[in-house]
Chains A and B, each alone.
Chain A
Amino acid sequence: MSRLLQWLFGRLPIGWLQLTHSRTRFAAAIAGVAFANVLVFVQLGIMNSMATATLKPYDFFNADIMISASDANSMTEGGNVARQWLFQAQADPEVTLGTGIFVGNTNWPRPTKTLGLTSFGIDPTLPDFLSPVLKPKLATLQLKDSGILDMATRGLPPEEAAAIRPQTPASFEVTGKTLTLYDTFQGGGGFGGDGYLIMSDQTFLSLFPARSSAAPDHILLQVKPGADPEVVATRLRDLISDKSLRIRSYDQAKADDLSYQQTKRPTGIIFGFGVIIGVLVGIVIVYQVLSTDVADHLSEYATFKAMGYPQTFFLGIVFEEALILAVFGFVPGVLVGTGLLAGMKKATNLPLAMTWDMAAIVLIGTLVACSLSGAIATRRLAAADPADLF
């Protein structure tokens, strides 16, 4: 390693030699940086899982434009939209197809816990609006009072979810009616409900008698191939007379929902702060590790300064140490972080996972934090006369 670094830097690898001089201190420094990494990984993992969970229900559908009520900040919130706007939207020459979707919450009472299921009612005669995962299961939705369940529902044992098949359905009562689950699909628990439930709009309306077929929660539209959904949405905003409606491209609706969850809802703000606190604590740890190291070697650095070495030489040593600590701390950090996120996923069924993006961000962030910390720690050396530091 020493020879490799000497070849790499074109000088004695003083940073490496300094760090490895005391194995115990080196191990403690690596542990500190790894801990900082784990902290940030966990916070980023939670933040990412919120984004994944927020966007998950959008994956169930295939649409270009979504029309929602003015207070519908997310797919599962807000008031209804009059179905008449669906017909008006279809008057646009580039709108090819439209449908309304209904959203509600269904409770499945279980012996140990009642499962809260975010439920979507869709028109089973319009398969084009369903994702490729759901489309093959559409036939079962045409049966009266039937549904397909999210196999990743939190609180539902995987083997029990796997047993829900057309030959072995599961049933439970909702508002005095029996709902039968014939199949499952891969959804994923979110921060709201325990899982998702898909049913036909007719089944939905029979389970939620207060709801009207004339007022779905959202209207989904598809446009002609090659048409720009943003352009069509802008045109629809002029066309539809109810100006309070939110008429957006499907992608824009996703982006708005994500932004709302991350910046307006308490959970998002708390998770955001978690990331900030994690990063700050991480910076404090790496600064402490590097500034202590610089302080311990100040008289030695002062000797080098007396010999004519410039400030850039000391920055080079500190950057060398920063690189070593960042890389050596990253490896255990990413391993422990991956394990922790996997454990948390198992416990909560939230979409928590280590991603390449997260790993790259944390590695680069650690390098920058280590380098800045080291540069700050060498300021005293830059300012002082060598004779005052011996």
Chain B
Amino acid sequence: MSDDYPIIVRGLNHWFGSGEARKQAIFDVDLKVVRGSLTVLMGPSGSGKTTVLTLMGCLRDLQDGSIRLLGHELMGAGNALNEALRRRLGFIFQAHNLHGSLTAMQNVQMGVQVHQLNDPKLEQQAARHALSLVGLGDRMDYLPGNLSGGQKQRVAVARALVGNPDIVFADEPTAALDKESGRNVVAMLKRLGEQRGTTTVMVTHDNRILELADRIITLEDGRIVSDTKPA
């Protein structure tokens, strides 16, 4: 079951704040994500897309409901399981979240080092290859401060993919990219799904890439209001 559906969400509810300020952000969300697919989460700001994404990516503790990620239940999961699962995921954050003191290559290298290969040469080789794939072979020794927004985003993509993840969670990965670069990144994720079976869940407002999606889920006010497959 988990091989076919690496992500299974059932009865997911989530709240933010406490006391009188406590507010429910996610209402009874159910969904299954097929292995190797590219699923897009859409919806207006504040609809709960990123919250669902971070809950599925074990970046937040679950409060109510169930998420089975790669065959493991996240409700009540301890640090060790969370860490082990996170190592099998790739994250592309909207704000890049690159480490400002590390070069592009060192940032990408961090994506391999987490697997504790203990082989710096192999790590560097993998990082170089990943950066070349996103067209940054000539910017490896640049610090993030010296890269454009689009270049930073591509470094973040390389960092997410270098560890050969089972699932990629991407939050607005094309926001800082021009049309062609954005399409290239999403096409690459799509190709990974087809070739390696890598599953991608992506939050986006970018209508230009929707045609590449296998499935589009729309959220509004914390609820799934539509779940479609583009023609």
Asked if B95 is at the interface of the complex by the 8 Å CB criterion, the answer is yes
What is the count of residue pairs linking A and B with beta-carbon distances less than 8 angstroms? 69
> Which residues of B have CB within 8 Å of A309?
83, 114
Max count, chain A CB within 10 A of own CB: residue among B60, B95, B100, B101: B101
Known A12-B109, A306-B86, A307-B111: A385·B60 in contact at CB below 8 Å = yes
Please tell me if B46 contacts chain A, counting CB pairs below 8 Å.
no
Residues of A within 8 A of B106 (CB): 12, 17
Q: Which residues on the B side are within 8 Å of A304 (C-beta)?
A: 99, 110, 114
Mark contacts of A1-44 with chain B using CB atoms, 8 A cut-off: 1 yes-contact digit, 0 otherwise.
00000100011101001101100000000000000000000000
Cβ 8 A contact of B79, one of A6, A17, A310? A310
**Which residues of A, 358-390, contact B by the 8 Å Cβ criterion?**
385-388, 390
| B120: Cβ under 8 A from any A Cβ | yes
- Decide: B114 and A14 in contact? CB cutoff 8 A: no
- Determine if B5 is an interface residue (Cβ-Cβ < 8 Å): no
A300 interfacial contact with B, CB 8 Å: yes
Residues 300-322 of A, flagged 1 when their CB comes within 8 A of B and 0 if not, give 10111111111100000000000
Given the known interface contacts A385-B59, A385-B60, A390-B93, the answer about A17 and B113 at a Cβ–Cβ threshold of 8 Å is no
Partner of B57, one of A20, A297, A306, A310: A306
Shortest CB distance B212–A (Å): 25
Contact A308 B84 (CB under 8 A): yes
Chain B min CB distance to A3 (Å)? 10
**Shortest distance from the beta carbon of B16 to any chain A beta carbon, whole Å:** 10
Q: Write out the residue numbers on chain B whose beta carbons fall within 8 Å of the beta carbon of A140.
A: none
CB distance from A255 to the nearest CB of B (A): 51
Is B205 among interface residues, defined by CB-CB distance under 8 A? no
- Cα separation A311 to B79 with both chains bound (whole Å): 9
Q: Kindly identify, within residues 42 to 69 of chain B, every residue whose CB is under 8 Å from any CB belonging to chain A.
A: 54, 57, 59-61
Minimum CB–CB distance from A103 to chain B (whole Å) comes to 65
User: Which of B83, B99, B100, B101 lies in contact with A308, CB distance below 8 A?
Assistant: B83
- Residues in chain B near residue A20, CB distance under 8 A: 101
Number of contacting residues on B, CB 8 A? 30
Contact A300–B61 (Cβ < 8 Å): no
List, in ascending order, chain A residues with CB within 8 A of B111's CB.
Answer: 307
Return the CB mask of B210-227 against A: 1 if under 8 Å, else 0: 000000000000000000
Closest residue to B57 on the A side, CB-wise?
A306
**A302 → chain B closest CB, angstroms:** 8
* Identity of the chain A residue whose Cβ is nearest the Cβ of B169 in the assembled complex: A306
A20 to B100, CA, bound (A): 12
Q: Does B195 contact A (CB under 8 A)?
A: no
- Given that A12-B109, A306-B86, A307-B111 are contacting pairs, would A300 and B59 also be in contact in the complex, using a CB cutoff of 8 Å? no
CB atoms of B100 and A21 under 8 A apart: yes
0 or 1 for each of B87-126: is its CB under 8 Å from A? (1 = yes): 1110101010111111000100111011000101000000
Residues of B within 8 A of A311 (CB): 79
Give A18 to B101 CA distance when docked, in angstroms.
Answer: 5
Contacts known (A12-B106, A14-B99, A308-B83); A387 close to B59, Cβ less than 8 A: yes
Closest Cβ–Cβ distance, residue A383 to chain B (whole Å): 11
How many A residues touch the partner, as a band?
Answer: 20 to 34
Report Cα–Cα, A10/B120, bound state, in Å: 8
Partner of B87, one of A18, A308, A387: A308
Check A300–B83 contact: CB distance below 8 A. Answer: no
Q: A308-B84, A308-B86 are in contact. Are A300 and B120 (CB under 8 A)?
A: no
Residues of B110-158 contacting chain A, CB below 8 A: 110-111, 113-114, 118, 120
A299 interfacial contact with B, CB 8 Å:
yes
Q: Are A6 and B120 in contact (CB under 8 A)?
A: yes
B54 contacts across to A, CB distance below 8 A? 385, 387
Partner of B100, one of A10, A300, A310, A390: A300
1/0 per residue, CB under 8 A from A, across B158-185: the answer is 0000000000000000000000000000
B84: A residues at CB distance < 8 A: 308
> Which residues B185-215 have CB closer than 8 A to chain A?
none
- Docked Cα-Cα span, A76 to B158, in Å, equals 77
Give B208 Cβ to nearest chain A Cβ, in Å.
Answer: 25
Instruction: Please state if A386 and B113 are interface contacts (CB–CB under 8 Å).
Output: no
Known pairs A6-B120, A12-B106; A307 contacts B100 (CB<8 A)? no
**Which of A6, A11, A300 makes the CB contact (< 8 A) with B99?**
A300
Residue of A nearest to B87 (CB): A308
Within 8 A of B (CB), among A306-356: 306-311
A386 B59 Cβ-Cβ under 8 A: yes
**A18 to chain B: closest residue by CB:** B101
**Complex contact A17–B87 (CB within 8 A):** no
> Cβ of B101 and Cβ of A21 under 8 Å apart?
yes
Which of A12, A306, A310, A385 contacts B113, CB < 8 Å?
A12
Q: How far is the CA of A286 from the CA of B165 in the complex (A)?
A: 39
Pick the residue among A10, A14, A306, A386 that contacts B102 (CB under 8 A).
A14
The answer to whether A307 touches B114 (Cβ under 8 A) is yes
Inter-chain CA distance A388–B111, complex, in Å, is 21
Residue pair B79, A308 in contact (C-beta under 8 Å): no
CA distance A310 to B80 in the complex (A): 8
A-B contact pairs, 13 of them (CB 8 A): A6-B120, A17-B102, A17-B106, A20-B101, A300-B100, A303-B98, A304-B114, A305-B86, A308-B85, A308-B88, A310-B79, A310-B83, A387-B60
Considering the complex of A and B, which 3 residue pairs feature the smallest CB-CB distances, nearest first? Answer: A308-B87, A308-B86, A21-B101
20 further A-B contacts with Cβ under 8 Å, apart from A14-B102, A307-B111, A309-B114, are A14-B99, A17-B106, A18-B101, A21-B101, A300-B97, A300-B98, A302-B97, A303-B91, A304-B110, A307-B110, A308-B83, A308-B84, A308-B88, A308-B89, A385-B60, A385-B61, A387-B60, A388-B60, A390-B93, A390-B95
